[in-house]
Amino acid sequence: MKKAVASLLLLSSCGRYADFGLPSPTGPKPSLDIRWESTPRPVLARGPETWDSVDTLNPSVIERDGQLWNLYSGFDGNTWHTGLATSKDGLAWTKLGRAISPEAWEGNYIAANGSARFDKGEFLYWYQAADPPVIALARSQDGRAWLKHGLQVLPVGPRGSWDERGVADPYVIREGEWLYMIYLGQDRARRQRLGLARSRAGAEWEKSRVNPILELGEAGSFDENGLGEPAIWQAHGRWWMLYTGRDRSEARRLGLAYSDDGRAWKRYSDAAIFAGDQDWNRKVVCDPTILPASNGVRVWYGGGDIAHPAERIHGQIGYGFLRMEVR
C-alpha cells in the first residue's frame, strides 16, 4: 500500500501549469498611512485538551451567518490536528473540539495549517499533509463533520522546480469563476518562497508559470531565511499580502507586500510590519488570516516566545488590525 501511494504521488507530482495572475484591481492607488494595532493578550490559548496543549496556531477565520468560524491548528507534541472555534466578535472564542486529524496516506504528523472558505453552500478547507508536504482538501456542510476529498489536490513540482520538495501554507480566495491559492513552495536547497495557483472548484489546481511570485529578502533582513503563511486581499486599487518572514535566528515576523497583477509582488517596506511586542509573542509572529474592514483588515495570527520554524513555541493566537487610511 505504501508503495502504491508513493507511486501515485510521484505520477501526479508534475501537475498542471498555465500563464495567469490575479484579476487586475480597479480604482485609484492613493498614498496610504498604514499602521498596525493589536491587543496585548492572546485571544485563543493552548489547551485545556491534550490535542492542542503544546501549540495553538495557524488560524483561518471566516464569517458565516453572523458568526466567526476559526479552523486552527493544534499540536500535542507529536501530531498536528485541525480544530474548530467560534466567536461573535473575534476576541472571545469557544472551542468546539478537534475537527480533522491525519490518517491513511497523510501519515501521522500533520493535517492542519490550512485555509477555510464557505463556497457555494459548503465549507471547504485546504490543509497541509504528508511528507514531503502536499495540500489536501476536506468538505463540510455544517463546519463540524468533515469529509476528506482523498489524495492531494496540489502536488509538489517536478524535479528541479522551485516547489519540488514541498507545498504548504495555502491561502484561498474567490474572484469570479476562479479560486486562487497563494502557497509556500520549497526547493531542494530548502528555500521557501511563495507561488500562485488557481482552480474552478477547489479540487484540481493549475500552477502559474511565473512562480515563485515573491523571493527571499536581502541578507540580514527579517525574511532572508524563508517566506510562508500568506494572506491576501484587494484594497485601494491593489492586491495586498501579509506573510510570515523568517530570519537567520528563526525569529518570525509579519511582512507586507503589494501587487497590481498577482504575478509580481513588491515589499511595502524592507522592515516587518509587525514584530512581537509582548512576552508571549516576542520571538514569533506568524500565520496571518484576515477579514477586510472599511479602513483596513482584521488580522488573527499565531505567536510564540521560542524561535523555531515549526513547533513547540508555546503557540497562541492573537488579534490585530492593519489600518490603511488614505492620506
The answer to whether residues 18 and 204 touch, using CB atoms and an 8 Å cutoff, is no
Q: How confident is the model at residue 10 (pLDDT cuts 50, 70, 90)?
A: very low
Domain assignments of the chain as residue spans, ordered by start:
2-326
User: Coil, strand or helix: which one is 2?
Assistant: helix
Q: Which residue has the cell 522551485?
A: 162
Is the domain 2-326 a CATH 2.40.50.140 member?
no
Q: How confident is the model at residue 12 (pLDDT cuts 50, 70, 90)?
A: very low
β-bridge mates for residue 234, sequence order: 239
What is the structure's pLDDT at 4? 35
Give 244-289 pLDDT, tens digit per residue: 999 999 999 999 999 999 999 999 999 999 999 999 999 999 999 9
What is the structure's pLDDT at 15? 62
User: What average pLDDT score do residues 202-219 get?
Assistant: 97
Q: Distance between CA 27 and CA 263 in Å, rounded?
A: 19
Average pLDDT of the chain to the nearest whole number: 94
User: What average pLDDT score do residues 130-144 get?
Assistant: 96
Q: Which residue type does 123 have?
A: F
Q: Distance between CA 108 and CA 307 in Å, rounded?
A: 24
Q: Distance between CA 185 and CA 194 in Å, rounded?
A: 6
What is the structure's pLDDT at 150? 87
Among 13-27, 228-242, 299-313, which stretch is predicted with the lowest mean pLDDT? Answer: 13-27
What does the buried/exposed string (b/e) look like for 171-189 if buried means 16 or more CB atoms within 10 Å of the residue's CB?
Answer: bbbeeeeebbbbbbbbbee
What is the structure's pLDDT at 111? 97
Q: Distance between CA 224 and CA 214 in Å, rounded?
A: 12
User: What average pLDDT score do residues 130-154 get?
Assistant: 96
What is the structure's pLDDT at 307? 96
The answer to whether residues 239 and 232 touch, using CB atoms and an 8 Å cutoff, is yes
pTM: 0.94
- Which stretch of DSSP H or E encloses residue 8? helix 2-11
User: Coil, strand or helix: which one is 9?
Assistant: helix
Q: Is 60 exceeded by the pLDDT of residue 290?
A: yes
The answer to whether residues 68 and 86 touch, using CB atoms and an 8 Å cutoff, is yes
Q: Distance between CA 8 and CA 17 in Å, rounded?
A: 19
Strands 166-175 and 178-186: antiparallel
Q: Distance between CA 44 and CA 65 in Å, rounded?
A: 21
What is the structure's pLDDT at 120? 93
What is the structure's pLDDT at 125? 98
Q: How would DSSP label each residue in 233-257? A: EEETTEEEEEEEEE-TT--EEEEEE
